[in-house]
Amino acid sequence: MKKLLTIVTAGSLALSMTACGSETAPAAIGSASAGQDGAAGGAKKKIEINYWYSWGDKIGENNENLVKQFNESQDEIVVKAHYQGTYDEQHAKAQAAFAAGNAPEVWQNEIASIGVFAKAGMTEDLTPFVQKDQVDMKDFVPGLMGNSYVDGKLYGLPYLRSTPLLYLNKTLLQQAGLDPNGPKNWQELEEYARKLTVPGQRVGMTMPIDIWFYEAMVAQSGGKMISDDGKKAEFNSPAGIESVKFMLKMKEEGIMKIPTADDAGTQAKTDFQNQRSAMLFSSTADLTKLMQVAKDSGFELGASLMPANKSFGVPTGGCNLVMSAKLPKEKQEAAWKFINWMTSKQQTIYASSYTGYLPSRISAVDSEEMKKLYAEKPLFKVAVDQLQHARPRPMLKPYPEIAKIIKDQIALSVVDSSVTAEQTIAEAGEKADKLLNK
């Protein structure tokens, strides 16, 4: 168990950065997590289960609101919602709770860690529940299902799912005479950044070193992170090197700022909010918050697909809802009812509309509610359109540690100009191969 905890906590790195949004704890919302017994007069006591979730602000409000709605929708189960910080913090707490025998019945599992927890025997195979209730699995968006299965078994259902987007300050783009719809490829991204940079005042873009963005750039360059057999670091290739070279080129010219501190993601968002940068890579999950930020800061927000290199390509992110393994049957049934309800069409519509996360069901995407939202607020549809280019994230046990190695090596090349992209990726690839072949 200690070994798994080390992998999950030390290696989660940017899994909790851009894939999900704000770390601010949500304000308590009345009865969202209040447990109650049945009415007076000998009514049957309700089954109580715990639900752990990550991220605050609009995302936290969404979780609390949905739990409140579930509790009010029926009289058999009471769900208590508990905020647990970032994904890596929640994962570490879940590991400790499981070892102590008091794990939450339902919790959020960041998609790249689905395999780690499933193979450790901590999460339940949901296949029998899906089959029993005849859940239409074809209704889930195919691009979001790659991180739901482990060895052919279903260990989580898509809940708050995301892709990275390119956010734009359309006001600054228009002032610079640029197409406000944004750059379509890397060459245009570089040109936009150059024209938007005002020395001493603003850079074209602030981009933290983030494994999610690197995975996207490798995909856009025609590569992938890990070989199909899980034995080789395939990012150690021209595609992986080209991605680092592109970042370093823009940084050296002064048209892209690449912060390397632990709060690099926050720095990037702050620069964008204060109009010290004009473009930002960030999660779909940040859409509603950035819309408010733009309104408060007096500029028009835009969003587009991440620019292509040889092709378009993005990883998905966010979380799936999972059930802890080895629950008593009564708790198991209650946990499943909650998971099934949370991932159904109407709740998907609510969560997507409230936060900007992707709707995970095709029926939700095609619903009149979402069509109306997309007509009124087209930015909500950008990530949906980008799903055709989506790829699953690696779920191998050593991948969190590999991701940290990649991030650290890229950071070294950013702060030390003598370290080339080739050296950076070769070193990361060699270390990754050793982990993959232990």
Tell me if 398 sits within 8 A of 116, measured CB to CB.
no
For all residues of the chain together, what is the average pLDDT?
91
- The torsion angles phi and psi of 109, rounded to 5 degrees, stand at -115, 115
List the structure tokens of 340.
Answer: 């099934």
Tell me if 306 sits within 8 A of 164, measured CB to CB.
yes
Place of tokens 């690099």: 264
- Tell me what pLDDT residue 315 has: 95
List, as one string, the DSSP characters of 260-319.
Answer: -STTHHHHHHHHHHTTSEEEEEEEGGGHHHHHHHHHHHT--EEEEPPPBSSS--EE-EEE
Per-residue pLDDT averaged across 376-393, rounded?
A: 94
Angle between helical axes of 57-73 and 329-342 (0-180°, round to 10): 120
Q: Are strands 203-206 and 314-315 parallel, antiparallel or unpaired?
A: unpaired
What strands, in cross-sheet order, belong to the sheet with 256-257?
256-257, 203-206, 277-283, 164-169, 301-304
Distance CA 200, CA 179 (A): 24
List the structure tokens of 99.
Answer: 């070892």
- The predicted-structure confidence for 95-122, as pLDDT tens digits, reads as follows 999 999 999 999 999 999 999 999 999 9
- Tell me what pLDDT residue 43 has: 66
Q: What amino acid occupies position 184?
A: K
- In whole angstroms, what separates CA 353 from the centre of its chain? 17
> What pTM, to 2 d.p., does this model score?
0.85
CB neighbours of residue 76 within 10 Å: 12
Residue 329 φ/ψ region, left for φ over 0, alpha for ψ in the -120 to 50 degree band, beta for the rest:
alpha
CA distances from 264 to 168, 336, 407, 417 (A): 19, 38, 12, 19
Is it the case that residue 14 has pLDDT exceeding 60?
Answer: no
Is it the case that residue 377 has pLDDT exceeding 60?
Answer: yes
Model confidence at 33, pLDDT cuts 50, 70, 90, reads very low
- Count the alpha carbons within 13 Å of 332 in the hemisphere toward its beta carbon: 11
- Tell me what pLDDT residue 254 has: 97
Distance CA 218, CA 225 (A): 7
- In whole angstroms, what separates CA 310 from the centre of its chain? 24
List the structure tokens of 127.
Answer: 């296949």
CB neighbours of residue 232 within 10 Å: 16
CA distances from 410 to 37, 209, 310, 419, 433 (A): 54, 7, 22, 9, 17
Domains of the chain: 2-162+316-391 (3.40.190.10), 164-315+398-436 (3.40.190.10)
Lowest mean pLDDT among 6-20, 187-201, 251-265: 6-20
Per-residue pLDDT averaged across 347-354, rounded?
A: 96
Is it the case that residue 38 has pLDDT exceeding 70?
Answer: no
- Tell me what pLDDT residue 44 has: 78
- The predicted-structure confidence for 18-31, as pLDDT tens digits, reads as follows 444 444 445 443 33
Tell me if 108 sits within 8 A of 50, measured CB to CB.
no
Place of tokens 């979001």: 144
Distance CA 122, CA 421 (A): 39
Is it the case that residue 10 has pLDDT exceeding 50?
Answer: no
- Residue percentage of the chain with pLDDT more than 90: 86
- The predicted-structure confidence for 302-323, as pLDDT tens digits, reads as follows 999 999 999 999 999 999 999 9
Model confidence at 57, pLDDT cuts 50, 70, 90, reads confident
Is it the case that residue 285 has pLDDT exceeding 70?
Answer: yes
Is it the case that residue 87 has pLDDT exceeding 60?
Answer: yes
- Tell me what pLDDT residue 341 has: 98
